[in-house]
Amino acid sequence: MASLGVAIAAGPLGCFIVWRRMAYFGDATAHAAVLGVALSLTLSLPVFPGVLMVSLLMAITVSALSGKSFAMDTLLGVMAHASLAFGLVAVSFLSGVRIDLMSYLFGDILAVGKTDLTLIWAGAIAVITLVSLRWSGLLLSTLNPDLALASGFNPKREQMILTLALATVVAVAIKVVGVLLIAAMLITPAATARHFSRTPEAMAVVAAFIGGLASIGGLRAAFVLDTPTGPTIVCVAALLFLAGDALRRSAGALTARQ
């Protein structure tokens, strides 16, 4: 249930990440989650709000600095790896606190409790609701910011809404797939859905379905093969992407022959 909630939220949001070519943006936000974990444990606070606040702060910082002095890919590369490094260093200073770092880096769905499950689904529902209500503005701002502005939408506001949704997904997904693989769950189902969709709305729905399929298949494979759940889910998602690409190429070749 936890992985399904993450997949449903990450699918539609991942479409905007793909359309805006913001893959590294998702990485930077996710990597900052380690720092959020360290700060939460240091202050004896729940992990979820700490990760949410730090991820949101990272996303806002990157959005504010983009286009100012450095190219976007350069800025994201520095911020992503620096935040991960600072987070790992901060964790090493935690004395008297037991922390399974691997579970935060790669996820541990077996450690998800009832409270975590409630937070995951609450976050997923919040993200889906937010994206649904702001769909027109988000889509138009993604395709043509000038046209969005002329139509009464503020592209910067829509960017902040997308940033908030991304930070929420990162916070709820950390227990399921870990900070190093969250970006994969955002991008891979959306990239796969592109092969089977004719409209943006269809792509969002298909991405959520593929993410759910990868989650269920990954959990089953992890149980049978006795492998880590987070990486196995991402492996299944990657295999679905390759299968989708192969089907697209086969269909294209068949159409060309006809």
Q: Along the chain (258 residues), what's the average pLDDT of each consecutive run of 10 residues?
A: 79 86 75 78 77 79 67 73 80 66 71 75 86 88 85 84 82 76 85 86 90 88 86 89 84 65
Residue bearing tokens 């606190």: 97
- Give the number of other CB atoms < 10 A from CB of residue 242: 10
Task: State whether residue 208 is helix, strand or coil.
Answer: helix
Query: Can you give the pLDDT at residue 97?
Result: 56
From first CA to last CA, the distance across the chain in angstroms is: 44
CA–CA gap between residue 204 and residue 197 (Å, rounded) = 9
pTM score above 0.85:
no
Q: Are 153 and 140 in contact (CB under 8 A)?
A: yes
Q: Where are the domains of the chain?
A: 1-180
What's 1-180's CATH class? mainly alpha
CA–CA gap between residue 45 and residue 52 (Å, rounded) = 12
Q: Are 182 and 170 in contact (CB under 8 A)?
A: yes
| C-beta contacts of 193-202 below 8 A and 24+ residues apart | 193/11, 193/15, 194/18, 195/244, 195/245, 195/247, 195/248, 196/244, 200/15, 200/19, 200/139, 201/135
Query: Can you give the pLDDT at residue 239?
Result: 92
Q: Are 9 and 127 in contact (CB under 8 A)?
A: yes
Biggest alpha carbon distance in the chain?
A: 69
Query: Can you give the pLDDT at residue 152?
Result: 84
Query: Can you give the pLDDT at residue 223?
Result: 87
Give backbone dihedrals phi and psi of 90, rounded to 5 degrees, phi first. -60, -40
Query: Can you give the pLDDT at residue 185?
Result: 85
DSSP state of 70: S
